[in-house]
Amino acid sequence: MYHARLEKTIEQMKRSDGKNETSPEAVPRAPRKRGPGEEKVIPPVSEREQYYWSGDRNFSLYVRSCGEFTLYAPDREKPRLRTGFGEIFWPVEGKGVFCLKDRAYTLSPGNVWYYPPGVVHAYFPVGHLKYCWLTIAGPDAEKVFDLMKIRPGLNRACICPEQMFRAVGDDLEFSSRQERNALATAFKILSMISVMPPDDVRGGSSRGSAVFDAEQIIELNFHDPELTVEKIAAMVGLHRVSLTRAFRKSLGVTVTDRIRARRIKKAADLLLTTELPVAEIARVCGVNSPAYFSKVFRRETGLFPAVYRKSRGGREN
């Protein structure tokens, strides 16, 4: 009976032209027939870009699976009852409609969807939806999400940490010890959801809230070499120029300045507390070019990274 109601809800969402919480954007309708001389358009195919599966089930809490998936309309996952694990869906780009208890919600970057154990999973893309997913299983799985205050349904979040999802997948391919490493990384991913404050406690104007959100995004994603002002602006719902002006007005610096300062701060710490090569530190801090990293570090601190490490008694490799 529940599945029938859910299917009815999904079909109503597809036919709806409204745009609200219970009636989000409709999935694009089938393309019209081609006219004379028009070329045939081949629709994109949904693809699972990466997929990992844990082989060890001996723990009361473990990472069951993790990966990346891109869904293109009209493809969608068949509604299924899932038991024994909780699952998060972290969108990278695009939009999707997710259903829970006969209601449907639009999921897009800036939010994460959580399905707790024992509920029906039902969702479909609006145009297309690229996302990372992570499942936590075992008797204690639901307790973990509750402890981190991750609610069933929509939760606020920052930019999807794709590299962390891939790190979890890499660990799942090895020994039980590595699977425990996967669980540790999974906890970090979940913590990136739970630290984001709900909309009703941020306070201030919408611009002030956007600046606060932008700072949180930078703090959690400065290590991503693809982090840009444009990406951050899209996440907080402002135009790039508007965010830059609000950021400068509130903090006296630009978004780019704050990203660079956070990377330099992390790099300086790693230079003094680890033996990592300079090239590796640059990569960890989100800079792919060691030469460019050294140039920027010198401009900001007055010293090249190797000289900075040596002058302050840091560890040398």
- Is a pLDDT exceeding 80 seen at residue 179? no
Least confident of 19-23, 61-65, 132-136: 19-23
Give the pLDDT score at 278: 95
Question: Is the alpha carbon torsion for 188, 190, 192, 196 positive or negative?
Answer: negative
Q: What is the mean pLDDT of residues 243-257?
A: 91
Least confident of 25-29, 58-62, 72-76, 206-210: 25-29
- Is a pLDDT exceeding 90 seen at residue 232? no
Q: What is the mean pLDDT of residues 46-58?
A: 60
Report how far apart, in Å, the C-alpha atoms of 232 and of each of 187, 207, 216, 253 are.
Answer: 24, 13, 10, 15
Closest CA to 156 of 93, 123, 108, 218: 108
Closest CA to 262 of 213, 219, 212: 219
Measure the CA–CA gap between 99 and 105, rounded to whole angstroms.
6
Q: What is the mean pLDDT of residues 211-235?
A: 85
- Is a pLDDT exceeding 60 seen at residue 203? no
- Is a pLDDT exceeding 80 seen at residue 38? no
Least confident of 63-67, 124-128, 231-235: 231-235
Give the pLDDT score at 111: 87
Give the pLDDT score at 219: 85
What's the CATH architecture for 2-25+44-194? Sandwich (2.60)
Q: pTM of the prediction?
A: 0.59
Give the pLDDT score at 293: 96
Least confident of 6-20, 220-234, 250-264: 6-20
Measure the CA–CA gap between 56 and 174, rounded to whole angstroms.
10
Closest CA to 117 of 146, 94, 156: 146
Question: What is the CATH number assigned to the segment(s) 199-311?
Answer: 1.10.10.60
Measure the CA–CA gap between 198 and 196, rounded to whole angstroms.
7
Where are the domains positioned within the chain? 2-25+44-194, 199-311
